[in-house]
Amino acid sequence: MAHQRMNTLDRELSARLAEIRRAGLERRLRRLDSPQGPQIVVGGRRLVNFASNDYLGLANHPAVKEAAAKAVADFGAGAGAARLVCGSQALHQQLDEQLAAFKGTEAALSFSSGYATALGTVPALVSRGDVVIVDKLAHACLIDAARLSGATLRVFAHNDLKDLEAKLRWATGGAAGKQPRVLVVTESLFSMDGDVAPLRELVELKDRYGAWLLLDEAHATGLYGARGRGLAEACGGADRIEVQMGTLSKALGAAGGYIAGSRVLIDYLIHRARSFMFSTAPVPAAVAAASAALQILQSAEGQQRRAQLWARVDRARQTLAKLGWPLAEPPSPILPLRVGSEARAVAWAEQLWAQGIFLPAIRYPTVARGQARLRLSVSAAHTAADLDQLEAALAGVGQPALSVGDASAG
């Protein structure tokens, strides 16, 4: 086949890709030939999967799949239009009501993804002349949303209340009558570190300065709190959080995102959240899957799955402690093994792969440079044998002591 001459864009991009490769940051899409679950088939090999966010094993749950299939039969494959046009089917309305009931808020609004939720919501609430203060380790979609809003962006050190207060003082320090609107944005359970925000103190602080709070519970929804609502429920301050965000794509095993809050907030977002207004409604199958997962979450089976998850988390923590890995408190299903160097993280992931464990390296730009890690995540669907296999495989790779030194040096 004749080799086509590269145009100038492609030439430029291949130089950039070469740079990425040189830095040890090349990525490749791996093809999965199985459903999501504790065991997956990749490249013809069956591996135990410790990389998924399907914490409760709902992504391939029979009742969730059945609900999705029934939605296709009843409502079709596509939604046809944005919800404000003619795409707002009974299923969408039902999901929003279900979400509000689940979160214990007046109202809720679902979006096609968690990413779209952030991108639509933050710019709807603040704009030029306002201030957004974001945790240093907040998810990319929260940073992008803050930038897109046009508000002045300030970043506070991760979970650092002193630094947050300094930024709040700065933001609200102007002359009376010239006070900007201030929105604080953070996560409850952090996606790559598995640690949690000091929510009680954070809520106190933002109230003291008259700021608003958007709390992203992407990884905590379904796992924490007496009813599985998330960490805001567990901490007891949910009713003082103006904007509660989450996804339907992690513990709920489906796809989509949501905002839960007051009726006024939701009414306003319907008018101003552009990712909601100008994007086709989520497909019936995804909406019905999320609905079914929400039902399971709130049933006896949901309780049982949560209990099972926490038992598996305990077991994984014992393994890590035995091997000398530091652990975060309180426990979470996200257990980062901080390796430090990108090359070593990739090498360890390959060693684990050879032993039947799927636990790929997480590198820049998902985390900072020199802070590469293996992000171990545990699911209720893992068996005791899966965790035995993990322990045996981890015992064979490198020493944590080495890597901790690395991380602090970098």
Ligand X SMILES: *Cc1c(COP(=O)(O)O)cnc(C)c1O
- What is the closest distance, in whole angstroms, from the C-beta atom of residue 251 to ligand X in the complex? 11
Q: Between residues 216 and 342, which has the closer beta carbon with respect to ligand X? A: 216
CB burial class (10 A; 0-12, 13-18, 19+) of residue 105?
Answer: buried
114 binds ligand X (CB under 6 A): yes
113 binds ligand X (CB under 6 A): yes
- What is the closest distance, in whole angstroms, from the C-beta atom of residue 112 to ligand X in the complex? 8
Tokens of residue 2, six digits: 């004749």
- What is the closest distance, in whole angstroms, from the C-beta atom of residue 114 to ligand X in the complex? 2
> What is the rounded distance in angstroms from the CA atom of residue 190 to the CA atom of residue 143?
14
125 binds ligand X (CB under 6 A): no
- What is the closest distance, in whole angstroms, from the C-beta atom of residue 256 to ligand X in the complex? 6
- What is the closest distance, in whole angstroms, from the C-beta atom of residue 335 to ligand X in the complex? 15
- Within residues 218-237, the interface with ligand X by CB under 6 A covers 218-219
- Within residues 268-287, the interface with ligand X by CB under 6 A covers none
Other Cβ atoms closer than 10 A to 233: 21
Q: Between residues 280 and 303, which has the closer beta carbon with respect to ligand X? A: 280
216 binds ligand X (CB under 6 A): yes
Torsion of CA 62, 63, 66, 70, to 10 degrees: 180
- Within residues 240-259, the interface with ligand X by CB under 6 A covers 247, 249, 257
Window of 215-223, 281-289, 366-374, 375-383 that interacts with ligand X by CB under 6 A: 215-223
Window of 4-12, 74-82, 213-221, 224-232 that interacts with ligand X by CB under 6 A: 213-221
Window of 24-32, 146-154, 216-224, 264-272 that interacts with ligand X by CB under 6 A: 216-224
Window of 92-100, 113-121, 123-131, 325-333 that interacts with ligand X by CB under 6 A: 113-121
Q: Between residues 247 and 332, which has the closer beta carbon with respect to ligand X? A: 247
Window of 112-120, 150-158, 207-215, 275-283 that interacts with ligand X by CB under 6 A: 112-120
- What is the closest distance, in whole angstroms, from the C-beta atom of residue 409 to ligand X in the complex? 28
The 3-class secondary structure across the chain, one letter per residue, is CCCCCCCHHHHHHHHHHHHHHHCCCCCCCCCECCCCCCEEEECCEEEEECCCCCCCCCCCCHHHHHHHHHHHHHHCCCCCCEHHHHHCCHHHHHHHHHHHHHHCCCEEEEECCHHHHHHHHHHHHCCCCCEEEEECCCCHHHHHHHHHHCCEEEEECCCCHHHHHHHHHHHCCCCCCCCCCEEEEEECECCCCCCECCHHHHHHHHHHCCCEEEEECCCCCCCCCCCCCCHHHHHCCHHHCCEEEEECCCCCCCCCEEEEECHHHHHHHHHHCHHHHCCECCCHHHHHHHHHHHHHHCCHHHHHHHHHHHHHHHHHHHHHHHCCCCCCCCCCCEEEEEEECHHHHHHHHHHHHHCCEECCEECCCCCCCCCEEEEEECCCCCCHHHHHHHHHHHHHCCCHHHHHHHHHHC
110 binds ligand X (CB under 6 A): no
Number of residues that bind ligand X (CB under 6 A): 13
Residues 196 and 186: beta-carbon distance below 8 Å: no
Question: Could you give the residue numbers annotated as active site?
Answer: 191, 219, 250
Amino acid at 383: T
139 binds ligand X (CB under 6 A): yes
Select the residue interacting with ligand X from 55, 75, 102, 115 (CB under 6 A): 115
191 binds ligand X (CB under 6 A): yes
Q: Between residues 113 and 403, which has the closer beta carbon with respect to ligand X? A: 113
Q: Between residues 258 and 348, which has the closer beta carbon with respect to ligand X? A: 258
Tokens of residue 191, six digits: 């996606």
Q: Between residues 251 and 374, which has the closer beta carbon with respect to ligand X? A: 251
- Pattern 290-329, binding to ligand X, x per CB under 6 A? ----------------------------------------
Residue nearest to ligand X (CB): 114
Binding site for ligand X (CB under 6 A): 113-115, 139, 141, 187, 191, 216, 218-219, 247, 249, 257
